[in-house]
Amino acid sequence: FRGVFKRDRQGNLLDAEGGIVSPDDPERWRREGEGQFVPPGTNPGRTVHMMDIHAEKGLQCADCHFSQDSHGSGLIMGEVAAAVEIGCKDCHGSSRAYPTLRTSGPAAPPEGTDLTLLRNSDGQRRFEWIQRDNRRVLIQRSIVDPTLEWEVDLVRDAVDRDSPEFNPAAARAKLMSVSRPGQASFSWGPGVATTDLAHDDEEMACYSCHTSWTPSCGGCHLPVEANWQAESHRAEGGTTRNYATYNPQVARDDMFQLGRHGTTRGGVIAPARSSSALVLSSTNINRERIYVQQPPISAVGFSSQAFAPHFPHTVRRTETKTCSDCHVSDAEDNNAIMAQLLMLGTNSVNFVGMNAWVGLESGIEAVRVTEWDEPQAVFGSYLQRYAYPDFFAQHVERNGRELVNWTRGRAFDLEAGGSGDTRSVEEIANTLQATGGQARCLQLRGEYMFVAEGRGGFRVYDVAAIGNKGVSDRILTAPFSPLGNDTHVASGNATCMALPTNQPIAPTRNTAAMRAANQEQAFHPIYSYAVVTDAREGLILVNVDTLADGDPRNNNLRRAATWNPGGVLDGARHITLAGHIAYIAARAGLVVVDLDDPLHPRHVTTVRLDDVRASALQFRYLFVTDAQGMRVLDVTKLDDPRAIEGAVVPLGDARRLYVARTYAYVAAKGEGLVIIDVTNPRRPRLHERVTFDGRLNDAEDVVVASTNASLFAYVADGRNGLKVLQLTSPDSQRNFYGFSPEPRPELIAWARTPSPALALSKGLDRDRGVDETGHQIAIFGRLGSRPFNRGEMERLFLDYRGEVYRVSDRPSLDGWLAAE
């Protein structure tokens, strides 16, 4: 557990006025003379502790959740959220009316409970309207402390220009109009009809805006060990011979996302959190790791990287969400924020686990990059130095930071615990598999590695046993028999491949009966396929559903479609999928293909660019490498990319690239790793060239991932092999808890590879619940809840004409529409 404090997007601590507080300020947590506890309503220290405003004022749980919320209504509820009686407007009212003081939550009785009848133990009314300073105010008295009472903030007063409580920012948000034909854009005020309100109380939860931050589990590791006696945590007690631990790896407070709440809440817009992005491991009685960090799949087939609508109890008055947290900023500096908001993913909390997977000139290799035990530290990292100091010293001093095959420890090392210590010996191994050609594209998904092997075609390898010491051949083409397993599709020159998601899914489970029972959406058909580019044959689609149906006898992959009309995809070398829209680098330029009907692709357009190499997508912008360097295209309309004048960073030989929040990482061959600030994608800015004095000088590909609280880059450095860079740590970057702190690369590990390193498998997406075309990927944790579809997304950034509208966080009375 840790305190959460007000920060800007770069991670700087802020005071109540928004000024930066130094991380070395002695009064940042407590002012001189302040004790451990401060009076209600007082913020300790210079920084702003982002506790819920109700808690800060002294309210206890029972001051909002009364007898029914505490003891129940006598009815069985399917989820805790459905058993809540109280609602925000019951005490605070709405922009149109003062509170009725009757409960309105999903568990409230038909007419609501009358809060004016509640009395505390001392006989005083819990809620009471009184006259104060010539105005009518509502006070609430504490149920716990009879000396404590509060004046309740009333929304109706906050939007009334004649009230001393008028707040222009709050009024603008609550009384803003939607964009409709014949209506002045962005008019706001009491003259806007209720049916025209952009943020209608019935359409979205109050805390969608008033939440200051949302806790998100960007990933948890749940390893189970057999033959380890442990107490059972079930009600009946007892013991079990399987010991499991629950290890949060990336607990974040900087991820804010919106979705649709469940059926019991009327499907309103509400904050959603990453709620259980699990990966599972199992060690059997022989201490064999029979599977390693595998993400499970939900019953309806969606990924288990779960999300859930959530009331985080972090409501604030000042540190609320602003306009640019949910709409395109007039400064164009929140593209990454919007990607996070819509659950499109930011490529920052992605999970590269025990192994980094590298595509080679003549094979693929799993390079061991982390400890096995929790906390899972990357070799050579800040965390390893402090959590495993002996192992860190061996990595640095014995191995010179090289990731080599070796056995650490001795079975009968008395200093390390003797023969009774099952963990005294650790095999650290890099596993190599030959391929039929250059492995320039590879992607790990669950137990399988999908590879485009050049002249070797497309192949799927079984890598479930990659950490199992009891298996000699840990990367397999056919784990049972070639008669029941043929996961190879021959082609002339398979240059790249893409999956609609790298999260394990099972579309065949998504039946009509399951959707009805669980109130779920259907998969889009594209999720059944792997999409392969071939320099000679164009586009090849392969149905890979059989790999997730639990039947080992039918894994025989075949082409489902081959497409290259008029040679438009001749020389195809890279593909990026945005839902059912494909961006393909080919000889003709950047080719846009619509795969809405996967077996009948449709050529939409071709953007003429010189020698396109690769692309990466983030919300409204596509980042492309070509002969000139890195350029940015506007893909607000996904199938109609538009070049942006001046949005080019010249580079001599840009190859693959990776965009993580507000930075683009470009593998630039001899220039090393080039880091580009894309906070404003329309004005990309060179941030840093990283070569480590020439040691990183053949860069072909790069991926970025988080392990615990730190950010890492993995670079395929051609003839130099693999490089592992720590981008943020408490030593190098004090603001590492920010949304996108400035990266400060340190070379912490490297590996020789038997042939040049050309490509890397992207880490598991842990903050992506939906694709750019609005199709759900990950499971949602409440009946009827879901991410936004494409139309709902567009309401946040397109007006009725289909043009981008932009917002400012600076309140102004321009556009005020008075009541008639």
User: Distance between CA 449 and CA 338 in Å, rounded?
Assistant: 31
- Compute the residue count for the chain: 820
DSSP 336-394: HHHHHHTTB--SSS-B--SEEEEEESSEEEEEE-B-SSSS-PBTTSHHHHHHSHHHHHI
User: Distance between CA 465 and CA 154 in Å, rounded?
Assistant: 60
Question: Which pLDDT value is given to residue 249?
Answer: 84
**Mean pLDDT in residue range 150-157:** 96
Lowest pLDDT segment from 75-79, 492-496, 565-569: 75-79
Show the tokens assigned to 787. 């991410």
CB of 622 within 8 A of CB of 599? no
Mean pLDDT of the chain: 94
Question: Which pLDDT value is given to residue 480?
Answer: 72
Task: Encode 261-325 in three state secondary structure.
Answer: CCHHHCCCEEEEEEEEEEEEEEECCCCCEEEEEECCECCCCCEEEEEEECCCCCECCCCCCCHHH
User: Distance between CA 174 and CA 168 in Å, rounded?
Assistant: 10
Domain edges within the chain: 346-407+427-440+655-764
User: For residue 421, is pLDDT > 60?
Assistant: no
Lowest pLDDT segment from 78-82, 500-504, 668-672: 78-82
Confidence of residue 419 (pLDDT cuts 50, 70, 90): very low
**Mean pLDDT in residue range 4-25:** 95
Question: Which pLDDT value is given to residue 414?
Answer: 62
Looking from the CA of 190 toward its CB, the CA atoms found within 13 Å total 16
Single pTM value for the model: 0.96
CB of 789 within 8 A of CB of 774? yes
User: For residue 641, is pLDDT > 50?
Assistant: yes
Confidence of residue 1 (pLDDT cuts 50, 70, 90): low
DSSP 83-129: G----HHHHH--SSS----B--STTS-TT--BGGG-B-TTS-BSEEE
Q: What single-letter amino acid sits at 330?
A: D
Show the tokens assigned to 298. 């939900």
Query: Per-residue pLDDT tens for 460-477?
Result: 999 999 999 999 999 999
Parallel, antiparallel or unpaired: strands 485-486 and 555-556: parallel
Residue appearing with tokens 């590269």: 352
User: For residue 160, is pLDDT > 50?
Assistant: yes
* % of the chain exceeding 70 in pLDDT: 98
User: For residue 572, is pLDDT > 60?
Assistant: yes
DSSP 545: G
Question: Which pLDDT value is given to residue 650?
Answer: 98
Residue appearing with tokens 């407007």: 89
Please name the residues in contact with 495: beta carbons below 8 A apart, sequence gap of 6 or more: 440, 441, 452, 454, 533, 534, 535, 572, 573, 574
User: For residue 404, is pLDDT > 60?
Assistant: yes
User: For residue 422, is pLDDT > 60?
Assistant: no
**Mean pLDDT in residue range 160-170:** 94
Query: Per-residue pLDDT tens for 188-199?
Result: 999 999 999 999
Give Dmax (Cα) for the chain.
Answer: 88
Task: Encode 611-653 in three state secondary structure.
Answer: CCCEEEEECCEEEEEECCEEEEEECCCCCCCEEEEEEEEECCC
* % of the chain exceeding 90 in pLDDT: 84
Show the tokens assigned to 259. 């979705």
User: Distance between CA 386 and CA 380 in Å, rounded?
Assistant: 11
CB of 761 within 8 A of CB of 357? yes
Lowest pLDDT segment from 152-166, 422-436, 681-695: 422-436
Question: Which pLDDT value is given to residue 241?
Answer: 87
Burial class (CB in 10 A: 0-12, 13-18, 19+), 315: buried
CB of 358 within 8 A of CB of 753? yes
CA angle 58, 60, 62 (to 5 degrees): 145
CA distances from 41 to 49, 50, 167, 700 (A): 12, 12, 20, 55
User: Distance between CA 722 and CA 368 in Å, rounded?
Assistant: 11
**Mean pLDDT in residue range 250-262:** 93
User: Distance between CA 151 and CA 512 in Å, rounded?
Assistant: 51
Show the tokens assigned to 395. 């990595």
Burial class (CB in 10 A: 0-12, 13-18, 19+), 168: middle
User: For residue 629, is pLDDT > 90?
Assistant: yes
More confident residue, 424 or 418: 424
User: For residue 702, is pLDDT > 70?
Assistant: yes
Question: Which pLDDT value is given to residue 277?
Answer: 82
CA angle 404, 410, 416 (to 5 degrees): 115
Partnered with residue 291 across adjacent β-strands are 282
DSSP 514: H
User: Distance between CA 259 and CA 265 in Å, rounded?
Assistant: 12
Partnered with residue 665 across adjacent β-strands are 658, 675
DSSP 552-611: TT-EE--EEEEE-GGGTTTT--EEEEETTEEEEEETTEEEEEE-SSTTS-EEEEEE--SS
Question: Which pLDDT value is given to residue 93?
Answer: 96
CA angle 655, 658, 661 (to 5 degrees): 150
**Mean pLDDT in residue range 660-664:** 98
**Mean pLDDT in residue range 139-143:** 96
User: Distance between CA 101 and CA 138 in Å, rounded?
Assistant: 10
Please name the residues in contact with 182: beta carbons below 8 A apart, sequence gap of 6 or more: none
Please name the residues in contact with 258: beta carbons below 8 A apart, sequence gap of 6 or more: 208, 269, 270, 271, 272, 326, 341, 342, 788
